[in-house]
């Protein structure tokens, strides 16, 4: 458990004993909603890539696609275990002999630990389910069904092409052969509101499925949905609306359901709206700050630790936002430890997390490390600053007010050194006032020890040096 829901990462670690990455593959399928069997335009939101815009070319063999996918993620994953994700279009929409050849090539690859196959519930004839059951006895197989909505009016508008009864029948037949089912749902569909999404979550809660993929509606170029958007027939969801809806849906879903996705990527070259969704990381940061932290956690002490960590992050952002200069690592540490909030290692972790999430900037010199808030950090604070109580805000305000002169002096007085190409050291000392240099010196010294000593003395001697220089040059 990640503290908020049963994530797919946690699920895979429990199942395989280690982290696993998915590799998107393209089996070269079509879709009955495109080739004329049901329709020709596809679902109203679907891109020309059939929702597989991140997959490889179908002209490559399965093995070559796997090689390419592994190469793409090699910088962030050094493991050797992957799930082959057949993503583009409808991946059971072909004769069973062709499906067997494609899926067998993937499942026999030693690097592949399982298959995840995206398809439609109306493309799962009995012989195909029999093949999937056979594969599932070799390595785990998941079937991902694009339900999107339980609202039949919306289903007709998006041209889904099948009634809810067909979906229920497919789930029942997959259950009969013990193949886990993952259901795709979309939040933000035209004509729907949060109540529709919550009704969908309640409906899914009563089914025997492995988990859910929750997807934001992306409005992409060259789709019929884009035409309706430009005609002002509907509005996209804001980030706050989407986060709240997802939080409420996950609260309804049973705790054993695996949440395979809480948002997704729209190809940036195709994305029209919502533009905020281009920054997927922002959602993943905001989600835990908006959720009720007891969701699906097993122990109350875990809940409290998560809640405290979120509060400490917001408090740090609040501190940095209240001043027009950077705060040193020591200053932030002093506030949290001296006021009894938490200990030194916890503050280090909080600061590190804020850096990783690009909510704060860091500046490092030989004498100190200081931090300032980023625009993204300000946006985060605008969203969730209300979670900080007035008493805590008052305590921070008082701390900053009582120590403002010393804090500003520390921030505006810096000294650092570096080794030059000549082999000696340059000591760079500066005092700022109103963000402009008041005095700035660069001195060459023969060794590092002397450079470090001069940097350490600058804070106490800078005023005397400035006065002497000013008087001498008058």
Of 207, 131, 117, 129, give the one whose Cα is nearest residue 164.
207
> Which H helix or E strand runs over 426?
strand 425-433
pLDDT digits (tens, 9 = 90+) for 50-88: 554 555 677 899 999 999 999 988 888 888 999 999 998
pLDDT digits (tens, 9 = 90+) for 369-384: 889 999 989 988 888 8
Cβ-contact 117, 149 below 8 angstroms: no
Cβ-based burial of 65 (10 A; exposed 0-12, middle 13-18, buried ≥19): buried
pLDDT in the model for residue 276? 82
pLDDT in the model for residue 81? 94
Q: What is the mean pLDDT of the chain?
A: 88
User: Tokens standing for 442?
Assistant: 């660069």
> Which H helix or E strand runs over 26?
none
Neighbours of 185 (CB within 10 A): 21
pLDDT in the model for residue 425? 92
pLDDT in the model for residue 145? 98
Neighbours of 377 (CB within 10 A): 22
pLDDT > 90 in the chain, percent: 54
Angle between helix 96-107 and 62-73 (nearest 10): 40
pLDDT in the model for residue 193? 96
Cα separation, 329 vs 348, in Å, equals 9
| Pairwise pLDDT comparison (472 vs 161), residue with the higher score | 161
Question: Tokens 């122990």 — which residue?
Answer: 299
pLDDT digits (tens, 9 = 90+) for 414-449: 788 889 988 899 988 888 766 678 788 999 999 999
Reported in sequence order, the residue ranges of 191-310 that DSSP labels E, i.e. its strands, are: 211-216, 219-220, 258-261, 271-273
Q: What is the mean pLDDT of residues 345-365?
A: 89
Which residues are paired to 109 by β-bridges? none
pLDDT digits (tens, 9 = 90+) for 249-300: 999 999 999 999 988 777 788 999 998 888 766 666 666 656 544 444 334 3
Helical segments of 253-343, H only:
280-290, 300-321, 329-338
pLDDT in the model for residue 1? 45
Of 221, 79, 91, give the one whose Cα is nearest residue 143.
91
Of 217, 357, 188, give the one whose Cα is nearest residue 279.
357
Question: Tokens 């070799």 — which residue?
Answer: 138
Q: What is the mean pLDDT of residues 318-337?
A: 89
| Pairwise pLDDT comparison (408 vs 200), residue with the higher score | 200
Reported in sequence order, the residue ranges of 120-268 that DSSP labels E, i.e. its strands, are: 141-148, 181-187, 211-216, 219-220, 258-261
pLDDT digits (tens, 9 = 90+) for 180-223: 999 999 999 999 999 999 999 999 999 999 999 999 999 999 99
pLDDT digits (tens, 9 = 90+) for 123-133: 999 999 999 99
pLDDT in the model for residue 284? 64
pLDDT in the model for residue 474? 74
Residue 363 DSSP code: E
Neighbours of 398 (CB within 10 A): 10
Residue 236 DSSP code: P
pLDDT in the model for residue 49? 60
Question: Tokens 């001195």 — which residue?
Answer: 443
Cα separation, 137 vs 314, in Å, equals 48
Q: What is the CA radius of gyration of the chain?
A: 28
pLDDT of 101 strictly over 50: yes
Cα separation, 49 vs 269, in Å, equals 13
pLDDT of 228 strictly over 90: yes
Pairing verdict, β 425-433 and 436-445: antiparallel
Cα separation, 432 vs 411, in Å, equals 9
Cβ-contact 415, 428 below 8 angstroms: yes
Contacts of 299 by beta carbon, 8 Å cutoff, 6+ apart:
none
> Whole-structure pTM over 0.75, yes or no?
no
pLDDT of 336 strictly over 60: yes
Omega of the bond leading into 274 within 30 degrees of 0 (cis):
yes
Cβ-contact 133, 8 below 8 angstroms: no
């Amino acid at each position: 458990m990640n503290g908020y829901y049963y994530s797919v990462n946690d699920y895979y670690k429990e199942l395989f004993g280690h982290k696993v990455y998915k590799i998107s593959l393209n089996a070269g399928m079509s879709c009955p909603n495109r080739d004329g069997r049901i329709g020709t335009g596809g679902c109203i939101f679907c891109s020309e890539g059939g929702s597989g815009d991140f997959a490889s070319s179908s002209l490559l063999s399965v093995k070559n696609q796997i090689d390419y996918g592994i190469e793409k993620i090699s910088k962030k994953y050094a493991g050797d275990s992957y799930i082959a994700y057949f993503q583009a279009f409808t991946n059971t929409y072909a004769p069973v002999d062709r499906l067997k050849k494609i899926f067998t090539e993937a499942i026999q690859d030693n690097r592949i630990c399982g298959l995840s196959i995206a398809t439609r519930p109306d493309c799962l004839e009995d012989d195909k389910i029999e093949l999937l059951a056979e594969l599932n006895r070799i390595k785990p197989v998941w079937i991902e069904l694009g339900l999107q909505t339980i609202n039949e009016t919306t289903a007709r508008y998006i041209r889904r092409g099948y009634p809810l009864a067909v979906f229920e029948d497919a789930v029942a037949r997959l259950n009969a052969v013990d193949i886990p089912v993952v259901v795709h749902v979309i939040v933000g569909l035209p004509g729907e509101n949060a109540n529709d999404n919550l009704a969908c979550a309640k409906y899914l809660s009563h089914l025997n499925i492995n988990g859910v993929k929750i997807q934001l509606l992306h409005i992409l170029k060259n789709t019929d949905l884009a035409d309706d958007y430009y005609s002002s027939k509907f509005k996209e969801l804001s980030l706050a609306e989407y986060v709240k809806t997802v939080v409420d849906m996950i609260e309804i879903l049973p705790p054993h359901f695996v949440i395979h996705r809480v948002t997704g990527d729209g190809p940036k070259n195709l994305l029209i709206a919502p533009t905020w969704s281009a920054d997927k990381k922002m959602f993943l940061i905001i989600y835990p700050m908006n959720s009720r932290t007891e969701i699906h956690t097993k122990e109350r002490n875990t809940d409290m630790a998560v809640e405290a960590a979120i509060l400490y992050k917001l408090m740090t952002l609040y501190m940095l936002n209240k001043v027009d200069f950077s705060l040193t690592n020591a200053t932030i540490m002093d506030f949290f430890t001296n006021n009894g909030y938490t200990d030194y290692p916890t503050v280090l972790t909080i600061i590190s997390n804020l850096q990783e999430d690009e909510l704060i900037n860091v500046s490092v010199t030989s004498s100190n490390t200081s931090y300032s808030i980023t625009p993204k950090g300000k946006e985060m604070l605008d969203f969730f600053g209300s979670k900080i109580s007035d008493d805590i805000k008052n305590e921070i305000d008082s701390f900053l007010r009582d120590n403002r002169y010393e804090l500003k002096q520390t921030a505006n007085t810096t000294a650092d050194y570096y080794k030059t190409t000549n082999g000696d050291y340059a000591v760079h000392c500066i005092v700022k006032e109103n963000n402009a240099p008041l005095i700035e010196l660069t001195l060459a010294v023969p060794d590092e020890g002397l450079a470090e000593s001069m940097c350490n003395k600058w804070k106490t001697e800078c005023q005397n040096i400035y006065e002497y220089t000013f008087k001498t040059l008058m």
